[in-house]
Chain A
Amino acid sequence: AQSVTQLDSHVSVSEGTPVLLRCNYSSSYSPSLFWYVQHPNKGLQLLLKYTSAATLVKGINGFEAEFKKSETSFHLTKPSAHMSDAAEYFCVVSDKASGAGSYQLTFGKGTKLSVIP
Chain B
Amino acid sequence: DAGVIQSPRHEVTEMGQEVTLRCKPISGHNSLFWYRQTMMRGLELLIYFNNNVPIDDSGMPEDRFSAKMPNASFSTLKIQPSEPRDSAVYFCASRPTGGETQYFGPGTRLLVL
Binds A, one of B13-21, B43-51, B70-78: B43-51
B113 near A: Cβ within 8 Å? no
B34 near A: Cβ within 8 Å? no
Residues 35-74 of A, flagged 1 when their CB comes within 8 A of B and 0 if not, give 0100001111110010100000000000000000000000
A89 near B: Cβ within 8 Å? no
Residues of A contacting B109 in the complex (Cβ-Cβ under 8 angstroms): 41
Task: Give Cα A36 to B103, complex, Å.
Answer: 10
Given contacts A43-B91, A44-B91, whether A101 and B50 have CB atoms under 8 Å apart is: yes
B61 near A: Cβ within 8 Å? no
Q: Are A103 and B95 in contact (CB under 8 A)?
A: yes
Given contacts A43-B105, A104-B48, whether A109 and B100 have CB atoms under 8 Å apart is: no
Q: Are B42 and A34 in contact (CB under 8 A)?
A: no
A45 to chain B: closest residue by CB? B104
Task: Give Cα A33 to B95, complex, Å.
Answer: 15
**Most chain B C-beta atoms within 10 Å of own C-beta, residue among A34, A45, A104:** A104
A46 to chain B: closest residue by CB? B101
Task: Give Cα A25 to B103, complex, Å.
Answer: 22
Distance of A41 from chain B, by nearest CB (Å): 8
Given contacts A49-B101, A103-B100, whether A109 and B42 have CB atoms under 8 Å apart is: yes
Residues of B contacting A34 in the complex (Cβ-Cβ under 8 angstroms): 101
B55 near A: Cβ within 8 Å? yes
A107 to chain B: closest residue by CB? B43
Task: Give Cα A105 to B93, complex, Å.
Answer: 11
Task: Give Cα A41 to B101, complex, Å.
Answer: 21
Residues of B contacting A44 in the complex (Cβ-Cβ under 8 angstroms): 91, 93, 104
Show 13 A/B contacts (Cβ-Cβ < 8 Å), sorted by A: A32-B100, A42-B106, A42-B107, A43-B105, A45-B104, A46-B103, A49-B101, A94-B100, A101-B48, A103-B99, A104-B45, A105-B45, A105-B102
